[in-house]
């Protein structure tokens, strides 16, 4: 049995064998076609839409890789009003979105009360939709309050599962253990949980990527978001190299095998690093796309990394563009909440 067959059968490999897969492009074609067959087993050709609403570019943190970190004096700051957020969701609903992702920096202006009010209003207006939050590290009581208000899912990337590597990417005061605790809290509360990491971040080794797989195996997330690290000029990592498309796609193909029924997006970062990055992501095993529903007037201000795509188009144009891209890869966007179809509970 070769490496890909073994991965497909066991949904796992030894660290040494993961390393062998990651090191070379020798297995890529077989890995990707096997990944697509696996996603077809659970999801057919369906691709789920997530409508991304970027609610705030303020953040109290200073992650070294991030364009909207507190210390970046060049960053343009904005907050969407509650009414603007609700209007984005209404527009998205008309366009066939059944999941809304409220994402933002860790912005204390958005108190628990405000977040709960927005979540419950979206759920009241669109009871057939899922609400996903991606608002960073919070107290468990805050996560519980959002859940009680109707939030269904929470995305919190761990970014790297190696504590030393984590401390090279984040300032003192942020820790991998705190991040992991948040993820465990979210799971216990009952959220569908998403985690993930950057591929090719500064000082990352292939061994770190294996640690990421091992952590995800412990966490068993419903959603896994990965994307190439992309440099932002106004951060402490300004001069450093971005990650590679090839390694990111390979990792995506591996993740589809280990987490066969997971929801895995072809991320905007993939589309930024290569013009067909999202199509290639779908062809490596991804089954979700996340078009932007934020008002065009603020899109450029939510610049986590340089040259982020899709900052000039209206929501309907983004939706249309992705529809064409998804079809060109041989898949189909569906109007659906897009919950995880669990392996044994189809």
- In degrees, rounded to 5, the angle at the alpha carbon of residue 219 between the alpha carbons of residues 218 and 221 is 135
Residue with Cβ nearer ligand SF4 (63 or 266): 63
Q: Does 106 bind ligand SF4 (CB under 6 A)?
A: yes
Site for ligand SF4 in 26-65 (CB under 6 A): 59, 61, 63
| Closer of 142 and 276 to ligand SF4 (Cβ) | 142
By CB under 6 A, residue 66 contacts ligand SF4:
yes
Does 68 sit near ligand SF4 (CB under 6 A)? yes
Q: How many residues bind ligand SF4 (CB under 6 A)?
A: 9
- Find all residues with CB under 8 Å of 19, minimum gap 6, and list them: 206, 207, 210
What are 324's two structure tokens? 């064409």
220 neighbors 233 (Cβ within 8 angstroms): no
Nearest in space to 33 (alpha carbons), one of 343, 327, 284:
284
- Answer yes or no whether residue 136 interacts with ligand SF4 by CB under 6 A: yes
Residues 278-317 contacting ligand SF4, CB under 6 A? none
**Closer to ligand SF4 at the Cβ: 66 or 258?**
66
Distance of closest approach, residue 197 Cβ to ligand SF4, in angstroms: 12
Nearest 10 degrees: Cα torsion 22, 27, 31, 34: -160
Residues in the chain: 346
Other Cβ atoms less than 10 A from the Cβ of 112: the count is: 16
Binding flag, residue 227, ligand SF4 (CB under 6 A):
no
Provide the minimum distance between the beta carbon of 285 and ligand SF4 in the complex, in angstroms, as a whole number: 25
What SS3 class is residue 311?
A: coil
Contact predicate 300/54, CB 8 Å: no
Our finding on whether 105 is near ligand SF4 (CB under 6 A) is: yes
With respect to ligand SF4, which residue has the nearer C-beta, 136 or 338? Answer: 136
| Contact residues: ligand SF4, CB under 6 A | 59, 61, 63, 66, 68-69, 105-106, 136
């Amino acid at each position: 049995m070769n490496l890909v067959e073994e991965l497909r059968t066991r949904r796992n490999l030894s660290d040494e064998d993961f390393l062998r897969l990651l090191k070379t492009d020798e297995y890529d074609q077989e890995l990707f076609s096997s990944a697509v067959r696996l996603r077809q087993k659970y999801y057919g050709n369906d691709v789920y839409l997530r409508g991304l609403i970027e609610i705030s570019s303020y953040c109290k943190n200073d992650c070294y890789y991030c364009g909207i970190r507190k210390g970046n004096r060049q960053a343009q700051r904005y907050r969407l009003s509650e009414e603007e957020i609700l209007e984005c969701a209404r527009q998205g609903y008309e366009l066939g979105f059944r999941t809304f992702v409220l994402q933002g920096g860790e912005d204390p202006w958005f108190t628990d009360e405000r977040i709960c009010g927005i979540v419950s209003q979206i759920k009241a207006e669109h009871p057939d939709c899922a609400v996903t939050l991606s608002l960073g590290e919070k107290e468990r009581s805050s996560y519980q309050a959002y859940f009680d208000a109707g939030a269904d899912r929470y995305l919190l990337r761990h970014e790297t599962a190696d504590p030393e590597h984590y401390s090279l990417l984040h300032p003192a005061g942020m820790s991998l253990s705190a991040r992991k605790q948040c993820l465990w809290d979210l799971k216990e509360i009952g959220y569908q949980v998403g985690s993930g990491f950057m591929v090719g971040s500064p000082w990352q080794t292939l061994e770190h990527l294996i640690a990421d797989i091992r952590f995800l195996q412990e966490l068993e997330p419903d959603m896994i978001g990965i994307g190439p690290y992309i440099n932002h000029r106004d951060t402490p990592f300004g001069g450093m190299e971005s990650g590679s498309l090839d390694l990111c796609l390979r990792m995506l193909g591996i993740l589809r095998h280990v987490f066969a029924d997971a929801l895995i997006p072809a991320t905007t970062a993939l589309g930024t690093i290569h013009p067909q990055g999202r199509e290639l992501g779908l062809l490596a095993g991804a089954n979700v796309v996340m078009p932007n529903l934020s008002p065009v007037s603020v899109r450029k201000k939510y610049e986590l990394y340089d040259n982020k795509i899709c900052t000039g188009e209206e929501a309907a144009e983004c939706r249309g563009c992705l529809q064409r891209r998804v079809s060109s890869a041989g898949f189909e966007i569906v109007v659906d909440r897009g919950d995880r179809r669990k392996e044994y509970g189809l």
